[in-house]
A = this chain, B = another copy of it.
């Protein structure tokens, strides 16, 4: 890694820079006429014209039909970002389902698929299910595989930088699976793997309860409670990808949250029992309400510890155990506040069980942006050459 990436540049670097600026403006600021775009980007009209010509050749920009009658004078040609030039694919893998989300380059969801599978399914079967779900998702979205520019997958557990699941307690046999490498074979583009709580955090900041917050902690309450942190708007992974594994410290009450809700569980599937307790609590069943109270008391300390360490703008509660308006959220709010000197907003997820899949899409889009707006060499919009396997970042 070079200590300073700013090497000298030819005149052609100027073009790359202006090209990137124009493309970004067109994507984020919406379509427009040549003169409008020139003004918005801060370039002259002839330059903008040249840049747009290049971008059209690369297939990233398309020309719309002019609109006669839109005003005085000669109608202007209109240009727009070709959102369907490429696609991002997000996968959410957990113990019981596989969810695939397909989005275009602006992040608009264009299709997807959900597949259910047995909690006890071995890794080989689970990965096969992912491949099948991807196929179904692509068909649903009418997207060809070769237009995929990046893929990201979320999984419970600790994910190493190379995309290996270092440890995972909730999916049998999942520890040690080289997920990025396994999935990489199926795609002609980079494949990223990331912890599910981290992806949920990305999603909540993108389109959920934490829109535009810079420092966000997302608590993903499920069988095992994980945490994802966005600090300064960027995902914090930690040295070993293990950031947020605060569930390990017993004092902080985030371990085995589901089990805590159902202390005297039947041998059957734990999760359904936990959901039943939450439903009972909502209906006012005293025993169930007590159980929720106990859980809130335990979790509050863990959340407070995180809030004290990070001083985030807000904490988003997500995962299967949280439902909007649930008593658990109110209870946590009440118990965490007195433990923290600075005010922390605590909100329930707005995305429900789509958060991880959406977060995966966001991560894939970030990877695409990295390539699309890089300045050191002309970005390739041709994914066929790539055969990368990598974890996030």
Contact = CB atoms under 8 A, between A and B. Distances in A.
Given A28-B3, A252-B305, A245 B8 contact: no
Counting chain B CB atoms within 10 Å of each CB, the highest count among A47, A249, A312 belongs to A249
Interface stretch (A94-102, A226-234, A278-286, A317-325): A226-234
A8 B301 CA distance: 49
Given A305-B249, A339-B248, A7 B42 contact: yes
Given A244-B309, A305-B252, A215 B234 contact: no
A340 B248 contact: yes
A241 B311 contact: yes
A251 B251 contact: yes
Nearest to A47: B8
Nearest to A41: B8
Interface stretch (A19-27, A66-74, A75-83, A383-391): A19-27
A308 B4 contact: no
Interface string A34-48: 000000011100010
B42 A21 contact: no
A24 B2 CA distance: 13
Interface string A297-312: 0000100111011111
Interface stretch (A9-17, A129-137, A147-155): A9-17
A310 B43 CA distance: 43
Given A231-B231, A239-B215, A309-B244, A8 B28 contact: no
A254 B210 CA distance: 30
A242 interface: yes
Given A236-B231, A252-B305, A305-B305, A8 B43 contact: yes
Contacts of A341: 158, 167, 242, 245, 248
B309 A246 contact: yes
A342 B159 CA distance: 12
A216 to B, nearest CB: 10
Counting chain B CB atoms within 10 Å of each CB, the highest count among A237, A309, A310, A340 belongs to A309
A249 B17 contact: no
A304 to B, nearest CB: 6
A240 B21 contact: no
A14 B9 contact: yes
Counting chain B CB atoms within 10 Å of each CB, the highest count among A243, A306, A373 belongs to A243
Nearest to A343: B240
Given A9-B14, A340-B248, A309 B227 contact: yes
Contact of A24 (B6, B236, B238): B6
B8 A308 contact: no
A214 B287 CA distance: 48
A354 interface: no
A381 interface: no
Given A227-B309, A246-B309, A308-B246, A215 B232 contact: no
Contacts of A340: 248
A9 B4 contact: no
Given A3-B28, A6-B24, A301 B249 contact: yes
Counting chain B CB atoms within 10 Å of each CB, the highest count among A43, A229, A234, A308 belongs to A308
Nearest to A217: B309
A341 B169 CA distance: 13
A42 B8 contact: yes
A170 to B, nearest CB: 15
6 contacts: A4-B21, A7-B21, A215-B236, A215-B239, A243-B311, A245-B308
The 6 closest A-B pairs by CB, nearest first: A238-B311, A8-B43, A243-B311, A240-B342, A7-B42, A242-B311
